[in-house]
Amino acid sequence: MKILLIGPQGSGKSTQGRLLEQNLQIPYISTGDIFRQIAQQNSEEGKKIKQILESGQLVDDQTTARLLEERVKKPDCQNGFILDGYPRNLEQVKLINLNFDKVFFLNTPKEVALDRLLKRGRSDDTEESITKRLTLYYQQTEALLDYYKNQGILAGIDGRGEIQSIQDEIKKSL
């Protein structure tokens, strides 16, 4: 089972993705986590990625696709995975054929997402980078909803409720 989680930053994708990982016994993969790990390395690549993360900009599509492709080839992805953070735009859709079985859209109003992000206090969560990331999300990532809707695999989930009730709704829809 290959599952994609889409939603603005702060919609609960990682929380729900990690719960699903336990429930379904397939790995939760976040491209943001992959980049945050690389950003800690004291290499040229690490420094470059760190700068991009702090600015809230996106890493280039080719690099992102290459890293994700390496990750989903690993044996633990044999029975599928839960993906958070890729694709971010239609260009990325074309770069890897991921063949999702189901796409969940965690529908969360901008104010709620922003409020959660400011509370979580991750190191790349400055007000400026959050605003930039949310803007990019609405400009580029929301366009993917129509794409997956046309494929008949999109399920909209209300992202505002309790963690467990959202998880139950996702499981019901699987």
Site residues, ligand AMP (CB under 6 A): 9, 30-32, 35, 52-53, 56-59, 64, 85-86, 88, 92, 133
53 and 36 in contact (C-beta within 8 Å)? yes
Cβ 81 to ligand AMP shortest distance, Å: 15
In this chain, which residue has its C-beta nearest to ligand AMP? 32
Closest approach, Cβ 172 to ligand AMP, in A, equals 25
Minimum CB separation from ligand AMP for residue 45, in Å?
Answer: 13
Query: Which H helix or E strand runs over 41?
Result: none
Strand-pair category, 102-107 with 154-158: parallel
Q: Given the complex with ligand AMP, which of 5 and 154 has the nearer CB atom?
A: 5
The residue among 10 and 157 lying less far from ligand AMP, judged by its C-beta, is: 10
